[in-house]
Amino acid sequence: MKPVKHIICMVFLSLSAALPAAGAEEQQPSLEEIVHRANQVAYYQGRDGRAQVQMLITDSQGRHRQRSFTILRRDGPDTDAVADRAYLGEQQFYVYFHRPADVNKMVFMVHKKPGENDDRWLYLPALDLVKRIAASDKRTSFVGSHYYYEDVSGRSIDADHHELVDVTDNYYVLKHTPKEPGEVEFDHYLMYVHRETFIPVQTEYFDSQGNKYRVARALKVETIQGYPTVTEAVMEDLDSGGKTRMRYNQVTYDIGMPEAVFTERYLRSPPRQYLR
Amino acid sequence: MPISILRALSVLIPLLSAAALAAEPALPTGLGGASEPELPAGMEAGDSGPPLPGGLGSGDEPDLPAGIDEPRETAAFDDWEVGDSDDTEAPLGGLTGFWEARAGHRLQSADNQRQSSLAEMRLELEKGWQGLSWSAKATADLVYDSIEDSGHADLETGMGWLDLREVWLQWRPGADVDLKVGRQILTWGVGDLVFINDLFPKDWNSFLAGRDEQYLKAPSDALRVGYYGDGFNLNLVYTPRFDADRYIDGRRLSYYNPLVGGVVGRNEPLSVDRPDDTGVDDEWALRLYRRWGSYELALYGYDGFWKSPGGFDPRSGRARFPRLRVAGASGRGPLGPGILSLEVGYYDSLEDDSGDDPFVNNDEWRFLAGYEWEVARETTLGLQYYLEAMGDYGAYRRTLPAGQPARDQYRQLVTVRLTRQALNQNLTLGLFAYYSPTDEDAYLRPNIHYKVTDNLAVEGGFNLFFGDRDHTFFGQFEDNSNVYTAVRFSF
């Protein structure tokens, strides 16, 4: 039955694309809107935010590593509105490490700019050294976990072609195909976006043979200050069998963090009032 | 074209492509309903999450499938030792640090030196305190060192059983001002293991003997004032009593002594006259900086002394730290796929204005250009070019004592840093190399570092010096080439 349902769905979607006046799904948001709302919910909620993050990394042989850090985020635009991409703009991240012990008090800072390479800094407290880090490859592991830099800070909407391949009871199923296939390791990825909250509940990465090799899942969602928030998630590497679980504690939005927090001054002397 | 044909085509084409998809061996999971993901906790209908929309009531729809691979694993979080609570505070009452054992061995026998270059155990203890507008920190290394006598502790040189790394208090008298007073590690400038405007003390013994790279920076006893304005930022560091480098003095590592005309070790430890009159023999260091978009620019000034002996008193036979003033600038920012760094400094050797005093260093221009980028996944390459140009070179040559080898007017240096991470970033392979085409000498620092667990790390590496002539910068250290290994437990 499934292939038949699938074919019908494809036909329907193609038809509705070819004949825009079909009129069957008036309430359904446009593809563009789904893509942007999912992006906004995943990475841009509120004017700023803070979380204590714990990571449990399990390698293919079942060995565990832990990471613990505080992440501060601030958005340039003062709106969450998706219309006209108003929510998209500069964004700053400040990641203060607690564990493991050998990275205690290290700081990783990112200034994200749409359409440009990120600016990244690393502060090494034992040397009082502020390093700039080249940001060329965003699809390398973040702190040795199965998450990539891009998974943590968001992949540019404009880097992919988007298709709505299915609409189910709960999900809009999106297929994203990279515009520059040479720059990424995947052929495409599917995203299950919850229809009510626009939370990307599951993201599946496929290689060029059509094999699914990497899956990100939201495990727990809590509504915090009115924002539906993923508070537990996992990233699995299906090839190696390794995975990383992430837990977000003490999530707070709209703290009113000034932009100055994301400067060299606060790399050298961390902003305690926002980290506690 | 008639509308009907268009419609027929639009129906036909997707049918064809859909048929092609269905004919493939395996439809990607997720396109079919069976492998649709389960809603996460907190989103179940009837839970606190919103119910399913009315028009899409679940009556005629299939139920949500069970979990994809396995049941929910929330229980697995129970074995996380860290709880939900604020864990910014470490265990042991906020005491952090590490225990480390480190040993190093010379690769060839050196006259007047032991075969062993490192043999020590170190316990670093660190504790922080903080209030709303202030914070404080103390870091102390307790050291058992079997190479150098660790009987008594010399806090200035870090020798002995106690190396006090940090004891400082920081507070914020106003929104734009930070003050930090006490023993602290200070670093600025854009060079990678090459320093121009960073005139804070370095520990060359640690660096060349194979201690962790963090020990290259020796602490300063200083007051740091930071002003952070809208247009620019200012850092001013006042050190009331000169903090010299922990320079190579022959006791652990051999060096070239021009008086002897050769390389000497423990038989001829360098004796120095160190300026140590508090409030008089002081140092000022200043940095004015700001960021324009992705680019950082800075101006620097320094007033103090040559940090490693830069002069010699022929009457006392002791090495000296002549007066030094430095002005410089740096810039850093992205270029193409990497980061470009530029730095320049003018070393004004105040006690030898015309360059004709053979016992005091001449003025120098120093220039650095660096570029670092990711050449492959988990692999970064950094290249630097460094130039040291001596001022009044004619006067230097004219007054150079007979029989002493002359330095070149231009000393060039190229550095390469290659870093590769593997095994989920638990294994780091690194190489840092200095090569001087003018001095024809080199210094290689290969290193391998592996994190066995989150707390336990092992490392090993070499410090390899090459050079045909005894008096060049790296050539003089040839007898100190060593291999080292260490194990560190962090907590």
Mean pLDDT on A111-123: 91
In the CATH scheme, what is the homologous superfamily, with its name and number, of domain B3-490? Answer: Porin (2.40.160.10)
| AA identity, residue A148 | Y
Mean pLDDT on A11-21: 42
Q: Smallest Cβ distance to A221: which of B49, B53, B453?
A: B49
What pLDDT score was predicted for residue B59? 32
Give the A window 77-106 contacts with B, CB below 8 Å. 98-102, 104
Q: Which residue has the higher pLDDT, B450 or B2?
A: B450
What pLDDT score was predicted for residue B69? 31
Chain A residue closest to B191 (CA)? A131
- Rounded to a whole number of angstroms, the distance from the CA of A79 to the nearest CA of chain B is 22
**Interface check B31 vs A, CB under 8 A:** yes
B30 vs A15: CB contact, 8 Å cut-off? Answer: no
Chain A residue closest to B225 (CA)? A265
Q: Smallest Cβ distance to A126: which of B41, B214, B488?
A: B214
Number of other CB atoms surrounding residue B84 within 10 Å: 12
B228 vs A263: CB contact, 8 Å cut-off? Answer: yes
What pLDDT score was predicted for residue B42? 67
Helices H, strands E: what count in chain B? 3, 23
- Top residue of A64, A170, A217 to mutate, by most chain B CBs within 10 Å, is A170
pLDDT mean across residues, chain B: 84
Give the B window 37-56 contacts with A, CB below 8 Å. 37, 39-43, 48-50, 52-53, 55-56
Query: Cα(first)–Cα(last) distance of chain A, in Å?
Result: 54
- Top residue of B72, B123, B133, B425 to mutate, by most chain A CBs within 10 Å, is B425
From chain A, pick out residues whose CB is under 8 angstroms from the CB of B11. Answer: 11, 15
| pLDDT tens by residue, A47-66 | 999 999 999 999 999 999 99
Chain A residue closest to B37 (CA)? A202
What pLDDT score was predicted for residue B35? 53
Percent of chain B with pLDDT over 70: 81
Chain B residue closest to A9 (CA)? B18
User: How would residue B150 be classed by pLDDT, with cut points 50, 70 and 90?
Assistant: low
Q: Smallest Cβ distance to B40: which of A201, A260, A265?
A: A201
Name the residue among B440, B275, B168, B332 with its Cα closest to residue A269.
B168
A192 vs B30: CB contact, 8 Å cut-off? Answer: yes
What pLDDT score was predicted for residue B157? 82
Residue A24 in this model has a pLDDT that exceeds 50: no
Mean pLDDT on A24-29: 67
User: How would residue B118 be classed by pLDDT, with cut points 50, 70 and 90?
Assistant: very high
Least confident of A111-120, A165-174, A211-220, B455-464: A111-120
B424 vs A141: CB contact, 8 Å cut-off? Answer: yes
| pLDDT tens by residue, B340-357 | 999 999 999 999 999 999
Q: How far is CA B127 from CA A95, A268, B147, B169, B457, in A?
A: 21, 17, 29, 12, 22
Least confident of A229-233, B51-55, B159-163: B51-55
What pLDDT score was predicted for residue B23? 31
Mean pLDDT on A69-92: 93
Residue B75 in this model has a pLDDT that exceeds 50: no
Q: What is the Cα–Cα distance from B77 to A233, expressed in whole angstroms?
A: 11
Q: What is the Cα–Cα distance from B31 to B54, expressed in whole angstroms?
A: 24
In this complex, how many residue pairs, one in chain A and one in chain B, have their CB atoms less than 8 Å apart?
257
From chain B, pick out residues whose CB is under 8 angstroms from the CB of A199. Answer: 43
Mean pLDDT on A140-154: 92
Q: Which residue has the higher pLDDT, A207 or B93?
A: A207
What pLDDT score was predicted for residue B415? 98
Chain A residue closest to B91 (CA)? A101
Mean pLDDT on B460-477: 94
Residue B308 in this model has a pLDDT that exceeds 90: yes
**Interface check A174 vs B, CB under 8 A:** no
Residue B112 in this model has a pLDDT that exceeds 80: yes
Backbone φ and ψ for B55, nearest 5 degrees, come out as -65, -15
Residue B61 in this model has a pLDDT that exceeds 50: no
Residue B67 in this model has a pLDDT that exceeds 60: no
From chain A, pick out residues whose CB is under 8 angstroms from the CB of B214. Answer: 124, 126-127
Mean pLDDT on B71-87: 42
Mean pLDDT on B182-205: 97
- Top residue of B7, B12, B88 to mutate, by most chain A CBs within 10 Å, is B88
B334 vs A117: CB contact, 8 Å cut-off? Answer: yes
- Rounded to a whole number of angstroms, the distance from the CA of B305 to the nearest CA of chain A is 22
Strand partners, A220: A232, B41
B86 vs A234: CB contact, 8 Å cut-off? Answer: no
Give the A window 198-217 contacts with B, CB below 8 Å. 199, 201-202, 204, 206, 210, 212, 215, 217
Q: How far is CA A58 from CA A22, A66, A246, B130, B420, in A?
A: 49, 9, 11, 34, 22
What pLDDT score was predicted for residue A135? 73
From chain B, pick out residues whose CB is under 8 angstroms from the CB of A215. Answer: 68
A269 vs B180: CB contact, 8 Å cut-off? Answer: yes
**Interface check A68 vs B, CB under 8 A:** yes
Q: Smallest Cβ distance to B490: which of A100, A194, A247?
A: A100
Q: Model-level pTM? A: 0.86
A204 vs B29: CB contact, 8 Å cut-off? Answer: yes
Give the B window 156-215 contacts with A, CB below 8 Å. 170, 178, 180, 184-188, 213-214
Question: How do strand B427-436 and strand B134-145 relate by DSSP bridges?
Answer: unpaired
Percent of chain A with pLDDT over 70: 91
What pLDDT score was predicted for residue B94? 84
Strand partners, A234: A217, A245
- Rounded to a whole number of angstroms, the distance from the CA of B273 to the nearest CA of chain A is 28
Chain B residue closest to A274 (CA)? B132
Question: How do strand A212-224 and strand A200-206 relate by DSSP bridges?
Answer: antiparallel
What pLDDT score was predicted for residue A241? 93
Chain A residue closest to B230 (CA)? A260
What pLDDT score was predicted for residue A16? 41
Residue B160 in this model has a pLDDT that exceeds 60: yes
**Where does residue A186 fall: left (phi above 0), alpha (psi -120 to 50 degrees), or beta otherwise?**
beta
Percent of chain A with pLDDT over 90: 79
User: How would residue B87 be classed by pLDDT, with cut points 50, 70 and 90?
Assistant: very low
Q: Smallest Cβ distance to B32: which of A2, A54, A98?
A: A2
- Paired tokens of A274: 């926002």
Mean pLDDT on B457-486: 95
pLDDT mean across residues, chain A: 89
Query: Cα(first)–Cα(last) distance of chain B, in Å?
Result: 76
Residue B26 in this model has a pLDDT that exceeds 90: no
Chain B residue closest to A104 (CA)? B96
What pLDDT score was predicted for residue B446? 98
Complex prediction ipTM = 0.86
Q: Quickly list H helices, B375-463.
A: 393-399
Give the B window 272-331 contacts with A, CB below 8 Å. 289, 291, 294, 296
> Are B105 and B463 in contact, with CB atoms under 8 Å apart?
no
| pLDDT tens by residue, B219-262 | 999 999 999 998 899 999 999 999 999 999 998 899 998 888 88
**Interface check A246 vs B, CB under 8 A:** no
Q: What is the Cα–Cα distance from A207 to A214, expressed in whole angstroms?
A: 9
> Are A111 and A262 in contact, with CB atoms under 8 Å apart?
yes
Q: Smallest Cβ distance to A11: which of B18, B34, B457?
A: B18
**Domains within chain A, CATH numbers bracketed:** 4-17+28-274 (2.50.20.10)
From chain A, pick out residues whose CB is under 8 angstroms from the CB of B185. Answer: 126-128
| pLDDT tens by residue, A161-201 | 999 999 999 999 999 999 999 989 999 999 999 999 999 99
Mean pLDDT on A77-90: 90
Domain boundaries, chain B: 3-490
What pLDDT score was predicted for residue A5? 47
What pLDDT score was predicted for residue B90? 52
What pLDDT score was predicted for residue B43? 67
User: How would residue B9 be classed by pLDDT, with cut points 50, 70 and 90?
Assistant: very low
What pLDDT score was predicted for residue B404? 87
Mean pLDDT on B189-213: 96
